Chain A
Amino acid sequence: MLPRSIMKPFKTIKLKACLENIPEAMNCVAQSARAAGLDEQTTLQIQLAVDEACANVVDHAYAGMDPGEMEISCDLEDQAITIRVRDWGRGFDPENVEEPDVAAPLEERSLGGLGLFLIRQTMDQVKFTMDPEQGNELTMIKRLRGGKQ
């Protein structure tokens, strides 16, 4: 169990929503995760989730319009790390995204849906909210199991 002394909020970063800024978002979250003593596997999984979430903002939330901003924050509390990715573009309902058929043969595979699928596979809880003023927010929660090994 992680000591309560390191249960404090991580920082928030706001970036222009473009592919080139995604590594910065990933590195920020990774630094925060490592500073809190999370193991490397968990840190990589969190980075992957942030990568996928930000890519969806770039590719879908601001598709067809000038890229706006994306805000990434992470909090460590109650034995879980919570990552929030917020945008002010076009909202979407993840429930409407068809899950890829990972057992399908090559000729039946589609290229879409892998990002959200990976987020759901690596994070324990995923939820999405839309607010006309506060923006769209994807919340991803990873329960921690023992912290640093």
Chain B
Amino acid sequence: MEITATAMKRCELVTVSGRIDSATAPQLEEALMGLIQASQKNIVVNLASTEYISSAGLKALLSALMKVRKTIPKGDVVISEITPDLRENFELVGFDRLFKFYENDTQAVGTF
């Protein structure tokens, strides 16, 4: 799994490629928490090249969302370019009710 983070004007764009499984999810959690601790509370997570996500990966995203929503002012973690298979996993655990989804990075970044 590879994670790249790009600072945008009003948010951070985090692109994840590969598999977010139980072995690699801690890296994602560390990356997201690192950004939040550095006061970056608006995060776009691009999942276009993420072929797989387990509960550990889902928990990492949920943890980040919970944390930024408690900041003042509130932040957000949004999802960009999710594939249909991954979207299915998000829907299984009800994350489609919690996260906002965008078709591309331009739209996602533009919401901040």
Contact = CB atoms under 8 A, between A and B. Distances in A.
A68 B52 CA distance: 27
A140 interface: no
B92 interface: yes
Interface string A14-43: 000001101100100000000000000100
A142 B21 CA distance: 21
- Chain A interface size, under 10 / 10 to 19 / 20 to 34 / 35 or more: 20 to 34
A54 B94 contact: no
Interface in B70-94: 85, 89, 92-94
B43 to A, nearest CB: 15
A73 interface: no
Given A22-B22, A102-B94, A121-B92, 6 more contacts: A19-B23, A52-B22, A52-B55, A109-B66, A118-B54, A118-B89
A41 B69 CA distance: 34
Interface of A is mostly: helix
Contact of B85 (A23, A44, A118): A44
A51 interface: yes
Interface of B is mostly: helix
Contacts of A100: 93-94
Contacts, number: 68
Contact of B98 (A51, A55, A106, A115): A106
Contact of B21 (A22, A105, A109, A118): A22
14 contacts: A19-B23, A22-B21, A22-B22, A41-B85, A48-B54, A51-B21, A51-B54, A52-B54, A102-B92, A103-B94, A115-B56, A117-B93, A118-B55, A118-B89
Interface string A41-61: 100100110011011001000
A19 B93 contact: no
Contacts of A103: 94, 97
Contacts of B89: 48, 118
A111 B56 contact: no
Interface of A: 19-20, 22-23, 26, 41, 44, 47-48, 51-52, 54-55, 58, 100-106, 109, 111, 114-115, 117-118, 121
A88 to B, nearest CB: 20
A55 B55 contact: yes
Contact of B23 (A20, A114, A115, A117): A20
